């Protein structure tokens, strides 16, 4: 009786293998064809805008406070009547995300009171250098439909002062 059980399991396993040999393989030619992502997928970050072109980010830095990996750096500045970037009193003059630190948890998306930061569906992230992994505000902002709606930024944004470890050549 004990010998019969392994034989039955072995036969079931072989039958599964034989059955799958005749199924059509599922192959997707990646660069030409892209698989649709699931609705709850969390990909590359996007800073949203209002319909009139103003940024939704008000520079409150709640996303940076909620980030468990400390991947987000926000520096805010005051809006003026001549230069307005968001509807509130402040805007994010510097907004940077270190994609190497990010764990794509979505806490930044949940913490944002204006729903300015969202995790999009772009999954094509590649870097050849550590500095390329730090996405500044201009890479994160969604494009404006009408360029005339947005005034150019005249204020000099703050400098990202945190150190980024340099990759050293092992031959040195």
Q: Could you give the CA distance from residue 41 to residue 122 in angstroms, rounded to a whole number?
A: 9
> What pLDDT score was predicted for residue 159?
40
What are the sequence ranges of the domains in the chain? 45-146
Strands (E), the chain: 45-47, 72-78, 90-98, 117-119, 134-135
Q: Which residue has the tokens 């059980």?
A: 5
The pLDDT of residue 1 is 53
Tell me which of 158 and 68 has the higher pLDDT. 68
Confidence of residue 170 (pLDDT cuts 50, 70, 90): low
Class of domain 45-146 as given by CATH:
alpha beta
Task: Specify the higher pLDDT residue, 9 or 164.
Answer: 9
Provide the pLDDT confidence category of residue 167 given band limits of 50, 70 and 90: very low
pLDDT class for 155, splitting at 50, 70, 90? very low
Q: Is the pTM of this model over 0.85?
A: no
Residue 107 has pLDDT above 90, yes or no: yes
Tell me the percentage of the chain whose pLDDT exceeds 90: 57
CA gap 73, 67 in Å, rounded: 10
Edge-to-edge order in the sheet of strand 72-78: 72-78, 90-98, 134-135
Per residue in 74-104, pLDDT (tens digit) is: 999 999 888 899 988 999 999 999 999 999 9
Instruction: Give the mean pLDDT of the chain.
Output: 84
Question: Reduced to 3 states, what is the DSSP secondary structure of residue 7?
Answer: helix
């Amino acid at each position: 009786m004990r010998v019969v059980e392994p034989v039955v399991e072995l036969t079931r396993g072989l039958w599964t293998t034989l059955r799958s040999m005749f199924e059509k393989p599922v192959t997707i030619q990646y660069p030409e064809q892209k698989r649709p992502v699931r609705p709850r997928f969390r990909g590359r970050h996007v800073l949203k805008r209002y319909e009139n072109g103003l940024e939704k980010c008000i520079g409150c830095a709640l996303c940076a406070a909620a980030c468990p990996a400390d991947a987000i750096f926000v520096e805010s500045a005051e809006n003026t009547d001549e230069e307005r970037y968001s509807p509130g009193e402040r805007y994010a003059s510097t907004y940077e995300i270190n994609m190497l630190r990010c764990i794509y948890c979505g806490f930044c998306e949940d913490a944002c009171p204006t729903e300015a930061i969202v995790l999009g569906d772009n999954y094509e992230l590649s870097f050849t250098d550590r500095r390329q992994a730090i996405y500044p505000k201009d890479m994160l902002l969604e494009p404006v439909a009408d360029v005339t709606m947005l005034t150019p930024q005249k204020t000099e944004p703050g400098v990202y002062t945190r150190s980024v470890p340099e990759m050293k050549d092992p031959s040195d």
